[in-house]
Amino acid sequence: MTERGGEYGSLKQSWLQVCSEADHVAQIHLEIQDRLIKSVQESVASWKTANYQKAIFNWKQTKKAEEGFAKAQKPWAKKFNTGKRLYL
């Protein structure tokens, strides 16, 4: 019993080969992507260790920046919250 469909034997074989080639190209692209991401991540990690001092849980410079931002933001957050209550 033959399969019924819009494609004939030669066209079906061509589509299967095109899909197979697309799978191979996609695999090559994924391998290249993994290599590129790995090399960039390694270089960023080495730069970070060379330029930042490590604290116990996170980077000291990042912690100082976050604390400074929170301190500078505190009065504005209070004003925002009081204004928010007035309009609700």
- 59 and 36 in a single domain? The answer is no
Same domain membership, residue 43 and residue 57: no
Tell me, yes or no, if the pTM score tops 0.75: no
pLDDT band of 11, cuts 50, 70, 90? confident
List 59's β-bridge partners, or say none: 54
Q: Same domain for 59 and 40? A: no
More confident residue, 47 or 3: 47
Cα–Cα distance measured from residue 57 to residue 53, given in angstroms and rounded to the nearest whole number? 11
Tell me how many domains the chain contains: 2
Do residues 47 and 66 share a domain? no
Which DSSP symbol is given to 3?
P
Give the H/E segment covering residue 37.
helix 9-51
Provide the residue range defining the domain that includes 60: 53-88
For 40-71, the pLDDT digits (tens) are 988 988 888 887 766 666 677 777 888 898 88
